[in-house]
């Protein structure tokens, strides 16, 4: 083998090894233990700041409660968030349930995709991950209906991320919104533009946001086509206020996720973003008194 071919072979082997290692690292990060985060308050981070800001609780008050659970949603409601965000998938028996990843091993003592389970089967799965999970031995999967009931009880806007990309399921999701009379109050968000297009076909008036990691002209155009706002990763786009400005120039809502620091919050507000999703920033310091945190259980 010539020296050139040896170099090429070694390069190929290195690439394979690097790819394999990257996969291991990714899996470890994806299924890592979720640790609690310290709670902050907007009026402590930005005293005397009177600019308009709507805070959304990311997967409920997930900094100190297991994410996407009734307990996390209830805590967010008590804290007075503008909206509460959740992630939803549909089970084999047509029940919309709340969890972030389709692969249940991220949060539960099981394997496989939630779409291959019935709701009773999912109820049997114990939740084994989440902030302060050791204080919630009875934590189980929450239904979208339970989540909606909590949002309505506390006057918070439901912000529902549609993770299930099967467009044939969107009518049943829409029907659930109708049954709960939340068509005007809810915000539907998704990374899947095909899902948003289908929902727009069903209802021209739904408020929807297209989730993106990086803001691009192409994604703004796609959102504008279906009259949807653009929700973007704040951390990835914080150095690009001009890109955020393009969303406003297109006449669309600009929202961001996930903001947990004073510095990133300030950058987003300076860029004119009024809708911010957070794990740990409370609407005000007084909200602490209304929330019985998981550490005190």
Question: Which 3-state string (H, E, C) describes 272-296?
Answer: CCCEEEECCEECCHHHHHHCCCHHH
Per-residue confidence (pLDDT) for residue 198, from 0 to 100: 98
Contacts of 225 (CB under 8 A, 6+ apart): none
- From residue 288, give the alpha-carbon distance in Å to each of 109, 267, 296: 32, 25, 12
Per-residue confidence (pLDDT) for residue 293, from 0 to 100: 63
Residue 51: CB atoms within 10 A of its CB come to: 9
Per-residue confidence (pLDDT) for residue 6, from 0 to 100: 44
Per-residue confidence (pLDDT) for residue 29, from 0 to 100: 41
**Tokens (6 digits) for 211:** 């989730």
* pTM (two decimals): 0.89
Q: What is the DSSP letter of 32?
A: P
Q: Report the alpha-carbon distance of residue 293 to residue 61 in Å, rounded.
A: 9
E-assigned strands of 142-282? 142-143, 157-162, 187-190, 207-212, 229-233, 254-257, 275-278, 281-282
CA geometry: angle 135, 137, 143, nearest 5 deg: 105
Q: What's the CATH number for 37-296?
A: 3.20.20.190
Per-residue confidence (pLDDT) for residue 243, from 0 to 100: 98
Rounded to the nearest angstrom, the gap between the alpha carbon of residue 102 and the centroid of all alpha carbons in its chain is: 13
Per-residue confidence (pLDDT) for residue 212, from 0 to 100: 98
Per-residue confidence (pLDDT) for residue 130, from 0 to 100: 98
The phi-psi region of residue 255 (left if phi > 0; otherwise alpha if psi is between -120 and 50; otherwise beta) is beta
Q: Report the alpha-carbon distance of residue 30 to residue 55 in Å, rounded.
A: 26
**Residue that is written with structure tokens 């989730």 in the block:** 211
Task: Give the chain's residues under pLDDT 50.
Answer: 1-30
Per-residue confidence (pLDDT) for residue 25, from 0 to 100: 38
Q: Report the alpha-carbon distance of residue 38 to residue 198 in Å, rounded.
A: 39
Q: Report the alpha-carbon distance of residue 254 to residue 237 in Å, rounded.
A: 12
């Amino acid at each position: 083998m010539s020296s050139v071919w040896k170099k090429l072979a070694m390069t190929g082997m290195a690439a394979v090894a690097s790819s394999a290692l990257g996969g291991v690292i990714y899996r470890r990060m994806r299924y890592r233990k979720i640790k609690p985060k310290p709670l902050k308050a907007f009026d402590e981070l930005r005293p005397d700041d009177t600019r308009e800001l709507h805070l959304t609780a990311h997967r409920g008050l997930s900094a100190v409660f297991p994410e996407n659970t009734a307990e996390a949603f209830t805590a967010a409601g008590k804290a007075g968030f503008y909206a509460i965000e959740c992630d939803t998938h549909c089970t084999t028996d047509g029940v919309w349930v709340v969890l972030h990843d389709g692969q249940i091993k991220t949060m539960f003592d099981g394997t496989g995709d939630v779409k291959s389970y019935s709701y009773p089967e999912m109820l049997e799965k114990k939740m084994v991950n989440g902030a302060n999970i050791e204080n919630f031995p009875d934590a189980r999967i929450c239904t979208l209906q339970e989540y909606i009931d909590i949002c309505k009880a506390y006057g918070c806007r439901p912000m529902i991320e549609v993770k299930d990309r099967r467009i044939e399921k969107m009518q049943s999701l829409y029907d659930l919104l109708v049954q709960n009379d939340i068509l005007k109050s809810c915000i539907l968000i998704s990374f899947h533009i095909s899902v948003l297009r289908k929902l727009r076909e069903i209802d021209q008036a739904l408020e929807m946001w297209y989730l993106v990691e990086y803001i691009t002209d192409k994604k703004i155009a796609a959102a504008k086509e279906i009259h949807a706002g653009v929700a973007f990763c704040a951390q990835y786009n914080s150095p690009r206020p001009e890109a955020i400005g393009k969303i406003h120039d297109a006449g669309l809502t600009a929202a961001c996720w996930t903001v947990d620091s004073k510095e990133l919050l300030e950058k987003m507000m300076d860029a004119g973003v009024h809708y911010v999703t957070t794990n740990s920033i409370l609407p005000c310091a007084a909200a602490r008194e209304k929330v019985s945190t998981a550490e005190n259980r």
